[in-house]
Structure 1
């Protein structure tokens, strides 16, 4: 047999053969190119501003005769670690999927996404549609050879950078905590201002209010009574409102800063990508800084208030710090409302020390303000249970008719969509305003118009654009809410159809499945 080494290989170069269409894109046609940029609020320099990036991408794309600019999408001041709040980014992706864009240009992977999973998800999604993403800094074309492999490596590095930056920031904050350095936002509680050195100083006018709240609580007043008194006296809250709430009073009575201390790391970040925070219930260390600043009240007074809070909670059968558990302890909690004044009904126990004791539900307005404010009488808990059993049995006996009527009513609501003409008008106006904004920016870049005139016009156009987008978002929310309504209907029907007989006694599980609000109009 002849050896292969004796064969003389001949190599012929086959020239590129022009084709009319590549991945659905007609050769000779201009590529529709979009640019995506993200401007951090921490970077004030001109080269990172939205206007300069508009100029950069306008120039870059206009230099290519085979490209045409579709739009420039910009998210302002939002972290790149999550896409949920990057509205312009998501709008760009949607328009890519709608076939309006052939290519996306962006400065770098970190501007596109610092989350590897998101980055690869969207790149692959666009790649399946034949849409390239070009990263300028890394010089990566995702449709090019080896583009995705390199992108995976670099985006992983970008995510590690975000994680490392988060760890460094957290480490720096913890070192400050350990050294006793405290940064406190005084806009969130009354009683203190900050001096030029950033130290807490007592605001005497507000401090009197703080002392009043602590004193009145120890004198026996409830959160509600204290709040009503402050509202009546037209005292303003920390946000400038004159309406006070129970929760505000409760928060003030638990604020350790009023006796001169500062408890640090009450909340922690549980995910560096989503920035989600949660209450620190022992997952991480806390830092208590005593004598951090001048106190408004004595520590002994603060501790007396905490003891009194615990005493009152125990009287109600509640555990301190377990308010949610208490609120859902009884089936009617948070669900029974007064048909006279609209306030919630509260559970009360009458004659609790003798054999004739009974549980009733009574209007909160009547309890707090008396019968002159609301004349609704208390309702026996057994009467509420019996009323639900009767109502359910009537529904069950006529369930076919009930289900038919309810289904028709909800389907009618679901079919009611926002006026399509109004939606289209909003979309058209949004496009007009976007174009006006781009023209204004480009005119400013090339003609250097008076900054005051430019700023005023920019503010006017961008303000209207934001308003139009809010209205458009409301239309989308209405449509989305229909899904929740349909799901609720399915839950109700499943509960009714799962029964094979009438109720003989109150069933808490069925009550919770069917009832969201229980309106009660008792005898006057």
Structure 2
């Protein structure tokens, strides 16, 4: 159970680090750990420009709690649920198109044939050495060449199989999500697969209508060229914790 939790935290960290972008200077955000009390810690995300070069490099940015970002996504997702056909349907169609295109599956089958062929050649090479039809030096050189090629093909095959599996997993999860929305149920906890499937990136920080910096403004840029905005994610999170958020 602990290993699963650690793996999920690592995956979430990798996901956010590639998707969170500073709204002031455009740099990526990095994850840091802060102490809530003497015994508890909390993960926060802050502009890498500010953390590496000093706050003067990006003075308007703030460290944003990871849980605030997750809560903001849920808030944005509730808006998405009201606009299901325009957004989520586009995502589902994209995933379905990928799964229908069997280029990767054909490549895996070809790789299996290539691997089998090289393994046969490697076996015959051993027979040639035993029969004295090839010198040890030539044998070692060709064997090394076969091993390198096998490693390359095996790595490519593993990558493609993992990619195919992830696409099927996303497709299944998104189909479940379709049913959730059609039943008018909301997503009640952060779902990494849904997040990665829908969101292209998250812009952290921005400005209000009067041009004042709003460091807790989050803009979710969706993969269907639309955006969902949460003007003050920190205030919304606190309100939700107190049960005062107006739906």
Q: TM (normalized to structure 2)?
A: 0.53
1:440 CA drift (Å):
1.5
What corresponds to 2:50 in structure 1?
366
Match of 1:338 in 2: 21
1:151-198 residue CA offsets vs partner (Å, 9 max, x unmatched):
xxxxxxxxxxxxxxxxxxxxxxxxxxxxxxxxxxxxxxxxxxxxxxxx
In our comparison, the structure showing a higher alpha carbon Rg is 1
2:83 maps to 1:398: yes
Distance in 2 (alpha carbons) for counterparts of 1:430 and 1:361? 44
Structure 1 residue 491: Cα displacement? 4.5
5 Å-filtered alignment, 1:171-320, equals none
Q: Mind listing any 5+ residue stretches in structure 2 that lack a counterpart?
A: 36-43, 207-212, 214-247
Superposed, which structure 2 residues align to 1:438-517 within 5 Å?
A: 438-447=123-132, 449-499=134-184, 510-513=188-191, 514-515=194-195
Name whichever structure is richer in helix by fraction.
2
Contact 1:417–1:479 (CA under 8 A) maintained in structure 2: no
Q: Deviations over 1:188-238 (max 9, x none)?
A: xxxxxxxxxxxxxxxxxxxxxxxxxxxxxxxxxxxxxxxxxxxxxxxxxxx
Is contact 1:344–1:363 with CA below 8 Å preserved after alignment? yes
CA displacement, residues 83-113 of structure 1 (integer Å, 9 cap, x when unaligned): xxxxxxxxxxxxxxxxxxxxxxxxxxxxxxx
Number of matched residues? 181
Q: Is the 8 A contact 2:50 2:58 kept in 1?
A: yes
What is the rounded CA distance, in whole Å, between the counterparts of 2:48 and 2:168 in structure 1? 35
The alpha carbon displacement at 1:485 in A equals: 1.4
Whole-angstrom distance in 1 between the partners of 2:122 and 2:68: 64
Q: Which residue of 2 aligns with 1:194?
A: none
The alpha-carbon distance between structure 1 residues 498 and 474, as it changes in their structure 2 partners (threshold 3 A), is: same
SS at match of 1:487: helix
**Structure with more relative contact order (C-alpha pairs < 8 Å, separation 6 or more):** 2
**CA–CA separation in structure 1 for the residues paired with 2:138 and 2:150:** 18
Partner in structure 2 of residue 429 of structure 1: 114
Q: Which residue of 2 aligns with 1:520?
A: 203
Local SS of the residue matching 1:344: strand
Distance 1:439 1:390, change over 3 A: closer
Counterpart CA distance in 1 for 2:102 and 2:181 is 29
Partner of 2:217: none
Give the TM-score, by structure 1 length. 0.28
Structure 1: stretches of 5+ with no match in the other structure: 1-277, 280-322, 350-359, 502-508
Local SS of the residue matching 1:378: coil
Indicate how the Cα distance of structure 1 residues 441 and 379 shifts in structure 2: closer, same or farther if over 3 A, else same: closer
